[in-house]
């Protein structure tokens, strides 16, 4: 399947929503460790792009730098060091122009904001995710880590990555997947070798819930006693449903993500569209089974929100 080169055109609205959720989470995550005076925190952007889109709108690495820059005062006071790993790799291309552009964009940013260099180290990497991920895993597991996995498509959605992240209790991650590809091709062997989704089960529900249902199946692949919690945020772009998978083991991290998600969509807290719209609920009255599944999924999200509120009260966040 040909992959889309996002950076050859301006980011669309849904891409910007995704990037805003990524940056909102960084904004909430950084102070948790900075205020505790954690000596070193690490952020990994495995699919970093070039820094900006064609029109100069910032991508994930520049948004990260902005969020760090906003908190520079506390970072200095608490003497926290930050290491960012930015990886960009163009498979099948000899000249790695996007990687060179990424370095230029970030170095230019640091030159304009030189105080960042006192506590921030950027490691630029130009390697296929498949070989890089296992190399960086020990570092991911060693320090408090925020991991962005903003792939094109679904190629790197294998459960083997989730199972590794599951073992790391100090890691929060935001994964992007093009979920609607599963709806179309999920039964093909080239898809199943990445992630084996029971498409018969997934298709018992409406197409618009495909992202939610992929995550429901991913949860079942985690160990029974796991502390890792996975939450969806579905993103509709025209006929396609993509989405973010948020993952974290700590209840306070879950609380942060759900707060961001509910801020973005005050009706359902889990999509950039009205995923539980009334019209559909009326239609699905005819299909009692589907309706029950929807209500259960909705009640999971509401329960998670109530849990966040309880955590908030207990910890006086």
Strand pairing category for 171-177 and 240-248 = antiparallel
Binders in 76-105 for ligand SAM, by CB under 6 A: 87-91, 98
Nearer to ligand SAM, 209 or 257 (CB): 257
Nearer to ligand SAM, 90 or 100 (CB): 90
Query: How many Å separate Cα 98 from the centre of its chain?
Result: 21
Do residues 43 and 119 lie in contact, with contact meaning Cβ atoms separated by under 8 Å?
Answer: no
Candidates 46-54, 112-120, 244-252, 277-285; binding stretch for ligand SAM (CB under 6 A): 46-54
Candidates 45-53, 78-86, 157-165, 290-298; binding stretch for ligand SAM (CB under 6 A): 45-53
Task: Pick the binder of ligand SAM from 23, 24, 150, 255 (CB under 6 A).
Answer: 150
Binders in 151-190 for ligand SAM, by CB under 6 A: 151-152
In the complex, the smallest distance separating the C-beta of residue 49 from ligand SAM, rounded to whole angstroms, is 3
Do residues 231 and 254 lie in contact, with contact meaning Cβ atoms separated by under 8 Å?
Answer: yes
In the complex, the smallest distance separating the C-beta of residue 115 from ligand SAM, rounded to whole angstroms, is 24
Dist CA 47 CA 20 (whole Å) = 16
Contacts of 242 (CB under 8 A, 6+ apart): 14, 18, 176, 177, 178, 179, 180, 211, 234, 235, 236
**DSSP character at residue 277:** -
In the complex, the smallest distance separating the C-beta of residue 161 from ligand SAM, rounded to whole angstroms, is 12
Task: Pick the binder of ligand SAM from 60, 105, 234, 259 (CB under 6 A).
Answer: 60
Task: Pick the binder of ligand SAM from 12, 13, 20, 128 (CB under 6 A).
Answer: 128
Backbone angles phi, psi at 90, to 5 degrees: -105, 105
> How far apart, in Å, are the Cα atoms of 268 and each of 119, 215, 238, 251, 299?
39, 17, 20, 20, 11
In the complex, the smallest distance separating the C-beta of residue 315 from ligand SAM, rounded to whole angstroms, is 31
The DSSP-derived string for 32-101 is: HHHTTT-SEEEEEESS-TTSB-TTS-B-HHHHHHHHHHHTHHHHHHTT-EEEEEEE---TT-SS-HHHHH
Q: Does 49 bind ligand SAM (CB under 6 A)?
A: yes
Q: Does 247 bind ligand SAM (CB under 6 A)?
A: no
Nearer to ligand SAM, 58 or 269 (CB): 58
- Footprint of ligand SAM (CB under 6 A): 6, 19, 47-49, 59-60, 87-91, 98, 128-129, 150-152
């Amino acid at each position: 399947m040909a992959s889309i080169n996002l950076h050859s055109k301006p980011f669309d609205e849904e891409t910007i929503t995704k990037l805003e959720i990524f940056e909102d989470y960084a904004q909430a995550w950084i102070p948790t460790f900075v205020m505790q005076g954690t000596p070193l925190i690490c952020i990994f952007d495995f699919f970093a792009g070039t820094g900006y889109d064609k029109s100069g709108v910032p991508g994930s690495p520049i948004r990260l730098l902005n969020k760090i820059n906003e908190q520079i005062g506390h970072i200095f006071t608490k003497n926290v060091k930050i290491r960012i790993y930015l990886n960009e790799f163009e498979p099948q291309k000899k000249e790695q122009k996007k990687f060179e552009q990424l370095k230029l964009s970030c170095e230019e940013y640091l030159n304009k904001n030189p105080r960042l260099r006192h506590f921030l180290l950027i490691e630029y990497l130009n390697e296929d995710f498949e070989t890089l991920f296992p190399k960086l895993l020990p570092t991911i597991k060693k320090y408090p880590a925020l991991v962005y996995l903003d792939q094109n498509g679904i190629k790197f959605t294998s459960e083997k990555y989730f199972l590794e992240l599951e073992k790391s209790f100090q890691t929060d991650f935001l994964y992007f997947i093009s979920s609607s590809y599963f709806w179309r091709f999920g039964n093909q062997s080239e898809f199943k070798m990445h992630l084996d989704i029971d498409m018969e089960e997934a298709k018992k529900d409406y197409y618009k819930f495909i992202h939610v249902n992929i995550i429901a199946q991913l949860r079942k692949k985690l160990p029974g006693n796991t502390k890792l919690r996975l939450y969806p945020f579905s993103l509709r772009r025209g006929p396609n449903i993509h989405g973010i998978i948020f993952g974290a083991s700590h209840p306070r991290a879950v609380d942060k993500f759900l707060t961001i998600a509910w801020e973005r969509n005050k009706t359902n807290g889990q999509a950039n569209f009205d995923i539980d719209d009334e019209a559909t609920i009326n239609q699905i009255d005819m299909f009692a089974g589907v309706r029950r599944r929807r209500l259960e999924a909705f009640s999971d999200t509401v329960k998670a929100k109530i849990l966040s509120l309880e955590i908030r009260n207990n910890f006086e966040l």
